[in-house]
Amino acid sequence: MLDILAIAAVSATPRPNLVIILVDDSGFNDVGFTNEAATGRPAAWHIRTPRIDALAHAGVRLSNYYVQPICTPTRAALLTGRYPFRYGVTGYTISADAPWGIPTNETFLPEFLRDAGYVTGIFGKWHLGFFKTAMLPSSRGFDYQSGLYNAMGDHFEHTIDGGYDWHVGEVTQTGFRGNYSGELVRDDSVAFIWRLSNGSAPFFLYAPFQEAHSPYQAPAAYLDMYPELSATPEKQNLAGMLSHNDAMVGDIVDALNATGALQNSIVMFSADNGGPGGQEGVPRPSRFDSTIIDRNWPFRGQKHELYEGGVRVAGFVYSPLLPGTAPVGGTVHAIIHVTDWLPTLLTAAGLSPSARAHLPLDGTSMWGCLSGDSAQCGRTEVLLNFNTVCDSGLLGFATECPAPKAAVRVGELKLLAECYDATTGKLTGNLELYNVTNDPSEAVDLASAMPEEVTRLGQRLQFYGAQAAQVPPLSDRPPWQGAGYYCASCASGQPQGVNAAWEPWCEGDAGVPC
């Protein structure tokens, strides 16, 4: 870890502090601000998130904001500014035992920022690989770390698949058993803010909360907020988690304000994917899912799926640094994708990606757009995912994500394709076309009525498919990413040492099998 005082001494140019708050498995209707004035909002699912709502209303809300359908791809896209299909993360997240991580030739946002004198910290969920030390946060641009490496875990005991998973400075710390994960993320984020408040170096705080990922566990006081859900304990715990997360976000903002850092900060809020079903009586993901679950209302679908409910989420930017032309207190309706944050935040900080060698970005800077210049709202197309692994049956589905496997939005239109034949380079199976501006619930398939648009958007999907087909997809079992993967025969991971903890197990540099 780098010494904060040493970094502060060499940082001469004042730049804004950057704060990313990423909430886990939170649906579009899991916060208050997204549907406050909507008619028909489900009466059974009104989650109280007053702190997040207040921050959103004081900032710039995003109405057409997209992420990836599952955890790892969104986190990777956020930090690399690149579509996850470019490194094969399209249908699976990284399992605890996988000898795999985001390739080290991908440049992460904190690497750009650290070059510019930022102090960088991540507190919360990593989920980008840990089998080698080269995959850990400290090797990807972060100076400070605490949290879990894996996708999920018991929120109090911090265990998953028989191993303990909570680390501080990348050292396993078992003393946090019994402490709720969201409060640990809050505590370390607040401590980081206070520690840096008197220094001259700007900071980058990345707070990827574990809430509200299963298992559904909330502190008792937050369960008591939803007595009407007591007959459905999973839903009650989920609701409590969401409101608890709101309080934790509020505490982080309070720390920014109390230290004076908020006046020179840019805060971005996002979910990592739509809310999943599976709670009492709520359907789970399925092929061509037609359901609208309460937590993603008014959108069809859920986590794992490419319908709007899986990939269109709550997002906003708050900053006193936004110019007077910015629609503060209002909404930007431009299409924005999670890959856009890397170039957007660099632009806001007066930096350029060209300052460091990196692979070509898919994201585009939206800072001008967010600042009120509509001419800079230039994104008209977004690829929502391209999973090249087709389903083999009508009921079950291959990978974590069911068909449709690929989707692109161009303007108001969105095309979803059942799958893609890498041999012929053609889309296969059902094609669905929706106008998601007029029909956000994706109820009216326009494919038969607008064949020329199916062809036009299909060509865009085929363009991406030809590229995606060149990269073997990540799997949940050996050889992990095809027979040519350098660690195809490496040992699978298991809890390590006297603490039976999830820690790196594969020695050697990245690219060296073990």
β strands within 349-437, DSSP E: 381-386, 406-410, 413-421, 426-435
What whole-number distance in Å separates Cα of residue 265 and Cα of residue 256?
Answer: 8
**What would the 3-class secondary structure string for 339-366 be?**
HHHHHHHHHHCCCCHHHCCCCCCCCCCC
How far from 86 is each of 90, 103, 130, 359, 472, CA to CA, in Å? 9, 10, 20, 10, 9
What whole-number distance in Å separates Cα of residue 287 and Cα of residue 416?
Answer: 12
How far from 135 is each of 30, 182, 495, CA to CA, in Å? 32, 24, 17
Residue 71 appears among annotated catalytic residues: yes
Indicate the pairing of strand 60-66 with strand 265-271: unpaired
Token pair in block for residue 130: 């840990």
β strands within 272-412, DSSP E: 315-318, 331-337, 381-386, 406-410
Question: Coil, helix or strand for 317?
Answer: strand
Residues contacting residue 243 through CB under 8 Å, at least 6 positions apart: 47, 48, 49, 218, 222, 225, 226
Question: Coil, helix or strand for 252?
Answer: helix
Residues contacting residue 329 through CB under 8 Å, at least 6 positions apart: 57, 58, 59
Q: Which residues pair with 496 in a beta bridge?
A: 501
Decide if 350 contacts 14 (C-beta within 8 A): no
Question: Coil, helix or strand for 332?
Answer: strand
> 46, 127, 167, 506: which one is catalytic?
127
* Helices 233-259 & 50-57 angle (0-180, nearest 10): 50
460, 336, 461: which is closest to 404 by C-alpha?
461
27, 24, 26, 25: which is closest to 309 by C-alpha?
27
> 71, 369, 401, 419: which one is catalytic?
71
Sign (positive or negative) of CA dihedral 224, 226, 232, 236: negative
Token pair in block for residue 173: 């710390």
314, 182, 190: which is closest to 247 by C-alpha?
182
What whole-number distance in Å separates Cα of residue 298 and Cα of residue 70?
Answer: 19
Chain-centroid distance of CA 244 in Å reads 19
Question: Coil, helix or strand for 469?
Answer: coil
If one counts every other C-beta atom within 10 angstroms of the C-beta of residue 133, the result is: 16
Active site residues per annotation = 71, 127
